A and B are shown apart, each in its own frame.
Chain A
């Protein structure tokens, strides 16, 4: 049996998170969801994820901060930053977090484009 890849969605928009979860579960992934940065960090302590999909704008913090903290756990987890922010790369760069992300995707993304990015990152 092939081990299911584990994905954590860090997203404060509940509806979007639900739709994403449904789609990713349909594609065969084991999906968890965190509404806040704090929740994401605590979930990451309990479970080893293969990929984190992190929204930049969160209620308690931003995706760059979460990314840095998760990265510090030194797991083989891959990271995708998702955002509706226009100059998201610049914002990440200012926090020295751009190089930590495996991909940066802007909203509203095309589902197929997102899934193929996830697929290729997890295949590496």
Chain B
């Protein structure tokens, strides 16, 4: 009896012989071929992928370069726009300040006539009344006329500020004179130690003496206004720093609010109850004329340090 296996086996053998190979080998061949094919395909794919990646990388590189250049040009454009905006704002600010200056100067000038008339009227009333009881009142009017005149002079001084007339100036003498004047006028002030400026005693600088006096007087005046208590101290120090003379006026007064600090040199900016806001504006202008610098450091409640640097000589 032939079992199924045998038949199958016989059949299998038959088929093997008939086709000269058996299915297993066929399968193997097919598998090998597939594998080879797969390998080729895989390689091709890999190459493709590699190419794609390479392309992508190249593209990325290109994109990156494009992006970089775009970024650079964007940054440049931004910078240009920024500086243009800054220049425009600066120009606008300068124009606004110039307009205010012109207006103030015109008003100030026009006020001199009425003030002169009031002055004369007071003189006439005083003479006619011949009443000593009125003297105090007249004195008050005269005082206020003088104050108004001072304000007008300040405004006009600022608006008519001319380039300096340089001469050889012993800066120590000017500073000393200003300190002594300040101590004479400002009563609450503690004695300012002149030893602090001893280092520049013999130093001559090219400057406009009158303008220099204006700067130091203003700085001392500001320092004095900042100290409102009995412990107020003003220290003035000076030294030679390379080709320049550095003068610092420091007080332990109320200090400047951070939000105000950038405006303190703007004309007509003031936080004082009485003040034209021209002191530092005048200082800044004069210092600019002298090719110097001004630096203000301040801490609210602690005090302010104003440092002025003036070149010893003025280049052509």
Contact = CB atoms under 8 A, between A and B. Distances in A.
Interface of A: 13, 15-16, 19-20, 22-23, 26, 84-87, 106-112
B112 A19 contact: no
Interface residues of B, number: 20
Nearest to B121: A19
Interface string B118-161: 11110110010000000000000000010001000000110010
Contact of B116 (A22, A108, A112): A108
Contacts of B120: 16, 19-20, 22-23, 111
B115 interface: yes
B127 to A, nearest CB: 6
A26 B124 contact: yes
Given A19-B124, A26-B127, A84 B113 contact: yes
A15 B124 CA distance: 13
Contacts of A111: 119-120, 123
A43 B156 CA distance: 34
B117 A16 contact: yes
Contacts of B157: 86
A110 to B, nearest CB: 7
Contacts of A87: 160
Nearest to B145: A108
Contact of A86 (B114, B123, B156): B156
B122 to A, nearest CB: 8
A64 to B, nearest CB: 17
A22 B119 contact: no
A107 B124 contact: no
Contacts of A85: 109
Contacts of B112: 84, 106-108
A87 B105 CA distance: 13
Contacts of A107: 112-113, 115-116
A19 B113 CA distance: 12
Nearest to B123: A111
Given A86-B160, A109-B119, 5 more contacts: A26-B127, A106-B112, A107-B112, A107-B116, A108-B118
Contacts of B156: 86
Contacts of B123: 19, 23, 111-112
Contact of A15 (B109, B117, B149, B160): B117
A86 B105 CA distance: 10
Interface hub of A19, A26, A85, A110 (most chain B Cβ within 10 A): A19
Contacts of A108: 112, 115-116, 118-119, 145, 149
A84 B121 contact: no
B109 A109 contact: no
A90 to B, nearest CB: 10
Nearest to B109: A84
A32 B121 CA distance: 18
Nearest to A13: B113
Contacts of B110: 84
A22 B109 contact: no
Nearest to B149: A108
Contacts of B121: 15, 19
A26 to B, nearest CB: 6
B106 to A, nearest CB: 11
Given A16-B113, A85-B109, A110 B124 contact: no
Contacts of A20: 120
